Structure 1
Amino acid sequence: MKRSSFLLTLVLALCCLAGCGAPANGGRSDSSPSQSAPTGESGERPQRVLVAYFSATGNTETLARYAAQALGADLYEIEPEIPYTADDLNYSDDGSRASVEMGDASARPAIAARMEGMEGYDVVLLGYPIWWGQAPRIVSTFLESYDFGGKTVVPFCTSGSSDIGSSAEQLHPLCGEGVIWLTGRRFAGGTSYEEMAQWVGGLELPPRAEQ
């Protein structure tokens, strides 16, 4: 009897120890990180931002991607229905496609695909190269294709030397009434991510809408 009682006591003790060491979730290991609150308080950053850009050689595309990454924004490429070839971009040829378009203020090259959901964005950063001191005409096509009323538009451009001034003045009226147009900036090719992030981080963008 004593031996039986001893064995029973030992078994009960082992069971208690096993129960204390078991995970509270029934034995399943949960290695997923805890949920954290969204970064920043309401009103600290824009609700929805789009970076729209046209890039014929890739310089503007790189900076547009930098801006979108820094802001956590969506990205949309303004793609021409008929892509530009190297011959089209021959600035020394007065008969090249780009030369002809830039010589005609009414030219509106067609865009391959429409940007869906434009009405859902509060801020649009608009990137483009400088051609003959102006934004390419396809950027005009883009601006005239949507209602920018109530939105904030921030232009930026890439060029070897030309400033953004006259190109922005040309584009601003194409956005229609009620747009908030911020002063843009010109960037050289090869601009770093850090420089782009610093610029977009310093923009006075509208606060996030209250939910």
Structure 2
Amino acid sequence: MKTLVTYFSASGVTKRVAEKVANALDADIFEIAPETPYTAADLDYMDKTSRSTIEMNDKSFRPPIKETIDVSEYDTILIGFPVWWYTAPTIINTFIESIDIAGKTAIAFCTSGGT
């Protein structure tokens, strides 16, 4: 069995967890990176006009990602992300829709704030 740990991390918290998980599982790792990185202002959830707030309020929005990955050689795919507005960031939808996970075991893990 071959395992892939994928993750989106806006502040570095999820990245650190993903690296620990990949190391513990002896798995490959892949960063889900947006075409345009998020700035601190983009991530200000208190600002109703911030990029992340606008994206999360539009359930059909799919932020473009820099690149995707061929997952055909993997049996298990872990997908890590921070919790945004009580759910996964919309960029996770972009990623999942860009790969074929049919017949694979998919496992989500999430982080919240500094935890």
Distance in 2, matches of 1:155 and 1:100, equals 24
Structure 1 residue runs of 5 or longer lacking an equivalent are 1-46, 161-187, 190-211
What is the Cα deviation at residue 90 of structure 1? 0.7
Q: C-alpha displacement at 1:158, in angstroms?
A: 0.3
Classify the secondary structure of the residue corresponding to 1:144: helix
Q: Which residue of 2 aligns with 1:157?
A: 110
**Bigger strand fraction:** 2
Query: What is residue 74 of structure 2 aligned with on the other side?
Result: 121
Partner of 1:139: 92
Q: What corresponds to 1:87 in structure 2?
A: 41
What do residues 88-130 of structure 1 show as CA deviations (whole Å, max 9, x unaligned)?
0011100000000000000100000121x31110000110000
Distance (Å, rounded) in 1 between the aligned partners of 2:79 and 2:23: 15
Q: Equivalents in 2 of 1:131, 1:50: separation in Å?
A: 23
The TM-score with structure 1 as length reference comes to 0.53
SS of 1:76's partner is: strand
Letter in 2 for 1:76: F
Query: 28, 49, 53: which is aligned to 1:74?
Result: 28
Work out the CA distance in 1 between the residues paired with 2:68 and 2:13.
23
Q: Does the aligned pair in 1 maintain the 2:6–2:18 contact within 8 Å? A: yes
Normalising to structure 2: TM-score of the pair? 0.97
Q: Distance in 2 between matches of 1:79 and 1:126?
A: 13
Identity across aligned pairs (percent)? 50
Q: Give the number of the structure whose alpha-carbon radius of gyration is greater.
A: 1
How many positions carry a matched residue from both structures?
115
Which residue identity is paired with 1:126? I
Give the 3-state SS of the residue equivalent to 1:127 in structure 2: strand
Q: How does 1:1-211 map to 2 (within 5 A)?
A: 47-115=1-69, 117-160=70-113, 189=115
Q: Please tell me the residue identity of whatever aligns with 1:60.
A: T
**Over aligned residues, Cα RMSD in angstroms?**
0.9
1:95 alignment partner AA: T
Give the deviation of 1:66 after TM superposition: 0.3
Q: Which amino acid aligns with 2:21?
A: A
- Select the structure with the greater relative contact order (CA < 8 A; seq sep ≥ 6): 2
The runs of 4+ residues in structure 1 deviating greater than 6 Å are none
